[in-house]
Amino acid sequence: MKLFVGLGNPGGKYENHRHNIGFMAVDEIVRRHNFLPEADAGKKRWQSLTHEGRLGSEKVVIIKPQTFMNESGRAVGEAMRFFKLAPEDVVVFYDELDLAFGKIKAKLGGGSAGHNGIKSIATHIGPDFERVRMGIGHPGDKARVHGHVLGDFAKSELMERDDMINAVAAEAHWMAEGDRARFTTEVARKLNPADQKPRAKAVTDEKTAIQKNKNEPDTQNKSGPMASALQALANKLKGDN
């Protein structure tokens, strides 16, 4: 069993913030894979909104802590202890300021890089949990970081944001199965299909060229029947003159 955690801040005024992309990602997993909601919509377990379902053969519980970002670890710790899970069974989806917008990386353990949600979780369960880092990019100026993180995605970013969310949701089963490397590969393949095209086109062009050569007459073969006939005709014309 795995515990998937989406990080964000609860409440309508925060829902479109870059800081809430973790919430967005697990919401899409719930929608795409038909996870069940709480039987009582008003009830919260472990100070979180929760959903249960399966990804492949693996049971997955998804939680969205409602404690605000800097207290996320309390909710994660309660849920992990309830299910008697180890930290490596926990997968956290969150925004990464120091990762280029549109990029996604996964890793086990590490530091918090100043992310208050990750810092809180590490305080409560230790640092050795799985992380899916979803790049929101850095504004370039430290003074602008707060407004960047706690601001809505720009309209020009929405398509790329949705591409990230969809790729993560589509390939989340690899994280449930414990195959981080395959998850990273398949997400990258979905986000960068152009990287796959040059090689595929080269193979297609090579096959086309081979088939064309098989079907065309060998005009370079000077000893072929056509070449011999042309040479005989040229000799006859020369003799007639």
Q: Which two tokens stand for residue 157?
A: 């970013």
Produce one character per residue of 163-189: b if its CB has 16 or more CB atoms within 10 Å, e if not. ebbbbbbbbbbbbbeeebeebbebbbe
List, in order, residues 6 or more apart from 45 with CB less than 8 Å away.
Answer: 38, 63, 79, 82
Residue type, 142: K
Q: Which of 19, 33, 51, 173 is catalytic?
A: 19
Angle at 96 between CA 132 and CA 44, to 5 degrees: 60
Task: Give the separation between CA 241 and CA 234, rounded to whole angstroms.
Answer: 11
Give the integer Cα–Cα distance in Å for 190 and 171.
9
Pairing status of strand 58-65 against strand 48-55: antiparallel
Clarify whether 17 is annotated catalytic. no
Phi then psi for 167, rounded to 5 degrees?
A: -65, -45
Which of 167, 204, 124 lies closest to 21, judged by CA?
A: 167
Residue 90 burial (CB count, 10 A): 24
- As annotated, the active-site residues are 19
